[in-house]
Structure 1
Amino acid sequence: MYEYKYVQATLGGFFKEANHREIINEHAKQGWRLVQVLPMYYNSHGKPMEYEIIFERKIDE
């Protein structure tokens, strides 16, 4: 069986830096495996602005 974790990430912009690499690296160190990245919110030009990163890790039963 697996447990899942959902984390918000941004692509950055004028006032924000992209933070996806730090999120992925930090969770990998904790034993989480990247499953999928989903765009969540789009700007008026159709460009994704925020993503949800989905991680999983095995639960010992």
Structure 2
Amino acid sequence: MVSPSTLGLLVRRARESRQLSQQSFADLAGVGRRFLSELENGKPTLELGKVLKVTRTAGIELFARQR
């Protein structure tokens, strides 16, 4: 992952591929629609726990490794 915008785009594509509105997808993920909108738009200062809930719901696997 190179930027918050990249992650936001992945989330948006996953949501749109399921033909869900932001509100419907946010409800499934257990977050607010505004949070989802901010994530999809690449806001860099979002709560990590909520970001992980959304990515899990979207079927996006995030992992970290030490460089």
Q: Which category describes the TM-score, using the shorter chain as reference length?
A: 0.3 to 0.5
Larger radius of gyration: 1
More helix by proportion, 1 or 2?
Answer: 2
TM-score normalised by the chain length of structure 2 = 0.31
Greater RCO (CA < 8 Å, at least 6 residues apart): 1
Q: TM-score, normalised by structure 1?
A: 0.33
When you count strand as a share of all residues, which structure comes out higher?
1
